[in-house]
Amino acid sequence: MGGPGSTRGFERAGILVEARCAWCGTVDLEPGQLVVHEGPGPDSLFEFSCPSCRRLNIHHLETAEVEVLAEAGIPLAPGQAPFELLERHDGDLITWDDLIDFHEQMGRRSTPLAILPTAPVDLAPGEQRDAA
């Protein structure tokens, strides 16, 4: 298993997972420090807080990697995984000029944000979007 989301280096007696923190590099994790999310299809991901810098890391997993982690006794997390974090985002990056322009346009709004409705709006079935 290779790549930036690599998980390797198991020790059977006390399972130890070697993962890669985006900021610190290679770190060792105990099973309780690692959360594995299996997706509805072949996509899966894992997340952990780095034991050194405490930053959250989220990486893609291949099906074979999920199988190895399951064999090592690392359980799958219940519920829906935050797969939107792994979506590819195309297009230009937002610049400071873009942010300033947006801020100026928001300042010119005819309806102040304070009086906009805060209650959820019910949408017809055709207007709803699937967030997953």
* Residue 101 counted as domain residue: no
Q: What is the pLDDT of residue 30?
A: 87
- 17-39 pLDDT per residue, tens: 889 999 999 999 988 888 888 87
* Residue 97 counted as domain residue: no
* Residue 62 counted as domain residue: yes
- The pTM of this model reads 0.52
| Range of the structural domain that residue 24 is part of | 17-86
Q: What is the pLDDT of residue 82?
A: 67
* Residue 123 counted as domain residue: no
Answer yes or no: are the C-beta atoms of 68 and 1 closer than 8 Å: yes
Q: What is the pLDDT of residue 85?
A: 63
* Residue 77 counted as domain residue: yes
Distance set, CA 50 to CA 2, 8, 23, 87, 115 (Å): 19, 16, 9, 22, 42
Q: What is the pLDDT of residue 5?
A: 41
Q: Which residue has the tokens 């873009």?
A: 98
Q: Quote the number of domains for the chain.
A: 1
Q: What is the pLDDT of residue 131?
A: 43
Distance set, CA 62 to CA 5, 38, 131 (Å): 9, 10, 22
Q: Please provide the size of the chain in residues.
A: 132
Residues of the chain with pLDDT under 50: 1-12, 130-132
Q: What is the pLDDT of residue 24?
A: 93
Q: What is the spatial distance between Cα 89 and Cα 5, in angstroms, rounded to a whole number?
A: 19
* Residue 25 counted as domain residue: yes
